[in-house]
Amino acid sequence: MRVLFTCIQGYGHLHPLLPLARALEVAGHEVAFSSSERFCPRIREAGFSAFPAGPDLAEVHEQALHRAETATFGPDDPWRFGALLFAGVAGPAKAADLTEVVEDWNADLVVHDATDFAGPVAAARAGVAYVHHSFGPLLPADFWMLGGDLMAPTWKQSGLTPEPLAGMFRHLYLDICPPSFQAPHARHLDKAHSLRPVPFDTTVESTLPPWVDTLEGRPTVYVTLGTIDNHAPGVFETVLEGLREEPINVVVTVGHTRDPAELGPQPDHVHVERYIPQSLLFPRCDAVVAHGGSGTTLSALAAGLPLLLLPQGANQFWNAERSVELGVGLRLLPDELDAAAVRREARTLLEEPSYRSRAQAIRHEIEQMPGPEVAVELLEGLGRERKNRARPGDTDPSVVAVREEAPSPTADPASAGNGRGDGEEIIHARGLTKVYRSPSADGGEFTAVDHLDLSVHRGEIFGLLGPNGAGKTTTVGMLTTRVIPTAGEAWVGGVDVVADPARAKEAIGVVPQTNTLDRALTVWENLYFHGLYFGLRSRAAAAVADELLERFRLVGRRDAEVHTLSGGMAQRLMLARAIVHQPDVLFLDEPTAGLDPQSRLMLWELVDQLHGEGQTILLTTHYMEEADKFCDRVAIMDQGKILALDTPAALKRSATHRSGSQADAGAWLEQRLAALAHAPAADPDHQVQREEAERALRSFVGAAEKLGVALDEVPPEDVTLETVFINLTGRDLRE
């Protein structure tokens, strides 16, 4: 496979792409890059072929400033100006050049950085799939909306129908931002796949300066302003004034475009260089002072280092705010920056251990994210799927082909019971296993799901029950692509969720237990943008949003902020959002937990309506009466295995103590009553369960008369699904 990477001129855009490019080469694929002519030598230094496309970034910036003079916004509006810069100027100027590179090099796949708007249109024009590779937290919705509008003429000029949001989320979104640091609205990106950020700032020849070995004995603070903001007037000087007299080592890198001598002479414990690879230096550091660029911020957190951020523009302000919210760093805005403030905040970072401990927690989170080798498998699957894609102007069969042509595994014993589904398998799992390995030195393992087999039929409500820690959440996580299995296979809607998670996400809708609504958007906008992310045209997404508000009784809250919604309303909105794209399977994770009885009733009315329309639903719940009433079939899990699977009625029948003839029942009751005759009155541990009430009652009364046992009352103790659950999983409390 030939994979072409394309990026905006700049190390912050290039470096996040390099680990995946290396991994593709290791897997035997051909890799090349495209960027501005001025930046191509930097790419070649990293060891890759590079083809020029598009203007120099300085020219782009100058044109954007000129156009902003007649716009309703300017450089002080970073998101709108950023959209103008990248989608209004850089994207259109690069599209034709990049299309020629894609076609001449005969690329099978295009991977573009988060702001290279030319990537999707060039790939679409050449008839190949394209992948969005992030460099940090997702930029705001305003950026993508305006970007889509600005790129639309370029799509039309290329003979293509403009894609929503400029096609930036059409096929696959590789997200290198740790989930806890990510922007809330990124939850809408159902084609996203998590990818561990891997620092890539070295070559084979890269080494540390000799003086680094003299840094022992006191804390070391690293200072950088990246490669764009390193010319910000007076910032380096202010930071050095604040730190120069502190009992710490200070390491400063000013970038290739500045001379360290510009900062003047420094004491022995302050070292100023043009460039030092952060990946080599960070293990020797205790804190980082930086501008808040995504690359440096994520690299510092990947090393578990607390941050003092001095944002200068664009997404740096968001990164700084998020770092403060998570307790991994401190922030000084431009009007707050002075030497005393730098000194004070640096001391706080070094003296207060909570900042480092929280940064270490994010470091652990990053370590658990899938590595580049997993992304290689995703790209291979996407490349195979799109290999025979029609040329532009023809109907694109890719979405339909995945659902209709993917092999459908044969049903197995896990499909016990017929339920109300039509018998066609919509979920299939065989040998599904998830083993978590401890990152500690002891290397312990925990098996959350153990060789699970499962089959769910189209059109049924399937309940997955189990105590805390049984493996339900992990199972659902694997079926919805959020958890990568250790072994086994899983198919949803005819799509292999392991080999092709991007397409699998098109087949599923998920309503999690926790509120994942975007608090920055209104009720209507949560539905509308979700539709756009799934590829709906703007008009279609708006129509679906209007229809769902009506259906889910939320019209009166159309323009409300979501944080003002009650729990029941928020849950209804999440349910509506999950079906915007008409998924094959709807996953409901504890959908009524914490709701009042009226809200629970309304939610179940809506779910029952969806079921009546043929929607397949997989439900996890702790409310046994809900599972009993609404589920066609139920599986009870514990310790990662399915203990029982059948219809609720069949499971309850199986829980009776004994079945057989009336004579058998009578003999058993005689034996039990003989013991009961000597038991304390009203002993709650001596209760009789029966299979058929009338027959058992006659046997019970007859045996009592024969033994001369007086009966005051025979309570109707029916077997419930809760009884089955307790019998199988035990009474021990699970935390």
Q: Which domains does the chain have, with CATH numbers?
A: 2-194 (3.40.50.2000), 210-367 (3.40.50.2000), 411-517+567-651 (3.40.50.300), 519-564 (no CATH), 656-718 (no CATH)
**Token output for 477:** 């996580």
Residue 194: strand pairing partners? 175
Residues 643 and 636: beta-carbon distance below 8 Å: yes
- State yes or no: pLDDT of 277 exceeds 50: yes
Amino acid at 42: R
Average pLDDT over residues 610-617: 92
Angstrom CA distances, 627 to 211, 256, 548, 586, 699, stand at: 67, 64, 26, 16, 32
Q: What is the structure's pLDDT at 402?
A: 27
What's the CA gap between 163 and 70, in Å, rounded?
A: 27
What's the CA gap between 339 and 735, in Å, rounded?
A: 50
**Token output for 30:** 């051909």
**Cα torsion 177, 179, 181, 183: sign:** positive
Q: What is the structure's pLDDT at 652?
A: 83
Residues 199 and 302: beta-carbon distance below 8 Å: yes
- Tens of pLDDT, residues 124-155: 999 899 999 999 999 988 899 899 999 999 99
- Specify the range with the lowest mean pLDDT, choosing from 217-231, 686-700, 715-729: 686-700
What's the CA gap between 161 and 166, in Å, rounded?
A: 10
pLDDT cut 70: percent of the chain above it: 83
- Tens of pLDDT, residues 475-502: 998 999 888 899 999 999 989 988 888 7
Neighbours of 106 (CB within 10 A): 11
The three-state secondary structure class of 313 is: coil
What's the CA gap between 661 and 344, in Å, rounded?
A: 85
First to last CA, the chain: 48
φ, ψ for residue 318 (rounded to 5)? -65, -45
Q: State the pLDDT confidence band at 686, using cuts at 50, 70 and 90.
A: very low
- Tens of pLDDT, residues 305-318: 999 999 988 789 98
- State yes or no: pLDDT of 667 exceeds 70: no
The three-state secondary structure class of 393 is: coil
- State yes or no: pLDDT of 692 exceeds 60: no
Q: What is the structure's pLDDT at 530?
A: 85
Instruction: Give counts: helices (H), strands (E), the chain.
Output: 27, 23
Average pLDDT over residues 585-595: 88
Of 586, 635, 588, the residue nearest 464 (C-alpha): 635
- State yes or no: pLDDT of 682 exceeds 60: no
Q: State the pLDDT confidence band at 404, using cuts at 50, 70 and 90.
A: very low
- Tens of pLDDT, residues 74-130: 667 778 889 999 999 999 999 999 999 999 999 999 999 999 999 999 999 998 999
Residue 251: strand pairing partners? 222, 271
Residue 521 vs residue 59, higher pLDDT? 59
Of 277, 282, 335, 338, the residue nearest 307 (C-alpha): 282
The three-state secondary structure class of 670 is: helix
Q: What is the structure's pLDDT at 678?
A: 52
Q: What is the structure's pLDDT at 214?
A: 83
- State yes or no: pLDDT of 330 exceeds 60: yes
- Tens of pLDDT, residues 420-476: 445 688 999 999 999 987 655 555 788 999 999 999 999 999 999 988 888 898 999
Average pLDDT over residues 367-373: 91
User: What is the helix (H) or strand (E) element at residue 287, kind and residue range?
Assistant: strand 287-290
Q: State the pLDDT confidence band at 697, using cuts at 50, 70 and 90.
A: low
The arrangement of strands across the sheet holding 249-253 comes to 270-273, 249-253, 220-224, 287-290, 307-309, 329-331
**Token output for 332:** 């000084």
Q: State the pLDDT confidence band at 624, using cuts at 50, 70 and 90.
A: confident
Amino acid at 382: L
What's the CA gap between 454 and 411, in Å, rounded?
A: 9
Residues 6 or more apart whose Cβ sits within 8 Å of residue 410: none
**Token output for 220:** 């070391």
Angstrom CA distances, 486 to 192, 431, 477, 697, stand at: 20, 10, 13, 52
Neighbours of 430 (CB within 10 A): 17
- Tens of pLDDT, residues 179-237: 899 888 777 776 789 999 987 765 556 788 999 888 878 999 999 998 777 888 899 99
**Token output for 140:** 């705001």
Q: What is the structure's pLDDT at 200?
A: 72
The chain-wide mean pLDDT, for the chain, equals 83
Average pLDDT over residues 393-410: 33
**Token output for 426:** 């919509």
Average pLDDT over residues 405-421: 40
- State yes or no: pLDDT of 394 exceeds 50: no
